[in-house]
Amino acid sequence: MAIQWFPGHMNLTRKAIAERIKDIDVVIEVLDARLPGSSANPLLAEMTGHKPTLKILNKQDVADPECTQQWLAHYNAQPDTRAVALQASDAAATQRLAPACQALAPGRGGMAKPMRVLICGVPNVGKSTLINTLSNKRHAKTGDEAGITKLEQRITLADDFYLYDTPGLLWPRIIVAKSGYNLAASGAIGRNAYDEEEVALELLDYLRRHYAGLVEARFKLSGVAAMKDEEVLEAVGRQRGALLGKGKINTQKAAEIVITEFRAATLGRITLETPEEFAQWLAAGQLLDAQRLAKKEARAGKGRRTAAPNPER
């Protein structure tokens, strides 16, 4: 089942960004380096597509370094776009961001033309931590929970550099099913919008095919690559003592363990998608969505014909 989550405050955020973007020089989009395609907001790209964009691949310290390089090359090849990978709490690394913004908007700077930057991203991507590090103050609340920031705020980083923070924003319809699972696994989606066992199984499906060794080392298992997803989940539950009566596995508890281990990066440095994989998922999602819309329009057309008055009456 596809995962969707677009609570009411996100619609307000969308409207606020649409209004603010008129006066913005550069957009900073913070991505999760473990899922750089899934955490890139297509709605945001649509709203800010004409603005220079700096893509921040945050949490690079827990992502697969080889995959991170692939994603940096992917985004740096796009027009009016620069991409950097960093850890939001690293003050030295974040000092690269102001010069990067200046390179994207060389005509801005100084008191007459201050740099105005909008920073945004999906929930729980580390945006608030990045802002606090940049400003060396605690402007934004942080936490391992989706949707903590609720209001826009302006932060003065220098006399001629204004940073506008916005709440985490998803998009009304996630057409890439895999993205929904990856976002849920990372904590970007509210807990009430997904089934943990389903998310854990999707996560294990990718991990056993790409990072079997890390799963085996962390959970003291063997032969993970040849196992079914359900078998891996049960093996994790057995190893961690997630048991019910008569030796039955508590798969809900096992799922919670798998997701928690991934979020905490105790499994190791993992990335859940490459640019090529995401492109394939996106193409498949777009095709299915086009078919869905075509069926919807066909039903609507049939309904209109049925409802049309009979001229002979």
The whole-angstrom distance between residue 248's C-alpha and the CA centroid of its chain comes to 35
Q: 2: which residues sit within 8 A by CB, 6+ positions away?
A: 174, 177, 180
Residue 138 in contact with residue 132, Cβ under 8 Å? yes
C-alpha–C-alpha distance, residues 30 and 199, integer Å: 23
The two tokens of residue 265 are 């990066």
Domain topology for 8-165: Rossmann fold (3.40.50)
| pLDDT tens profile 246-289 | 889 999 999 999 999 999 999 999 999 999 999 999 999 999 98
C-alpha–C-alpha distance, residues 172 and 2, integer Å: 12
Percent of the chain with pLDDT strictly greater than 70 = 91
Looking at the predicted structure, is the pLDDT value of residue 149 above 70?
no
Could you tell me the pLDDT band of residue 142, with boundaries at 50, 70 and 90? Answer: very low
Domain ranges of the chain: 8-165, 195-264
C-alpha–C-alpha distance, residues 241 and 161, integer Å: 53
Percent of the chain with pLDDT strictly greater than 90 = 65
Could you tell me the sign of the dihedral formed by the alpha carbons of 69, 71, 77, 78, in that order? negative
pTM of the model as a whole: 0.88
Going by their DSSP bridges, the two strands 115-121 and 153-158 should be labelled as: unpaired
Q: How high is the pLDDT of residue 7?
A: 77
Could you tell me the sign of the dihedral formed by the alpha carbons of 213, 86, 52, 127, in that order? positive
Q: How high is the pLDDT of residue 166?
A: 85
Q: Which residue has the higher pLDDT, 176 or 13?
A: 176
Q: How high is the pLDDT of residue 180?
A: 96
Domain 195-264 has CATH 1.10.1040.10: no
Residue 35 in contact with residue 271, Cβ under 8 Å? yes
C-alpha–C-alpha distance, residues 266 and 10, integer Å: 31
Q: How high is the pLDDT of residue 301?
A: 78
C-alpha–C-alpha distance, residues 277 and 212, integer Å: 18
Looking at the predicted structure, is the pLDDT value of residue 141 above 50?
no
Looking at the predicted structure, is the pLDDT value of residue 112 above 50?
yes
First to last CA, the chain: 47
State mean pLDDT over 151-176. Answer: 86
Could you tell me the pLDDT band of residue 6, with boundaries at 50, 70 and 90? Answer: confident
Looking at the predicted structure, is the pLDDT value of residue 147 above 50?
no
Closest by alpha carbon to 266, among 222, 218, 204?
218
C-alpha–C-alpha distance, residues 189 and 259, integer Å: 13
**Residue for token pair 């690079």:** 60
197-231 core/surface letters (b: 16 or more CB in 10 A; e: else): bebbbbbbebbbebbbebbbebbebeebeebebee
User: What mean pLDDT is reported for the chain?
Assistant: 89
Determine whether 277 is exposed, middle or buried from the number of CB atoms within 10 Å of its CB (0-12, 13-18, 19+): middle
C-alpha–C-alpha distance, residues 36 and 125, integer Å: 10
Could you tell me the pLDDT band of residue 291, with boundaries at 50, 70 and 90? Answer: very high
C-alpha–C-alpha distance, residues 160 and 121, integer Å: 23
| pLDDT tens profile 25-64 | 999 999 999 999 999 999 888 888 789 999 999 999 999 9
Q: How high is the pLDDT of residue 167?
A: 84
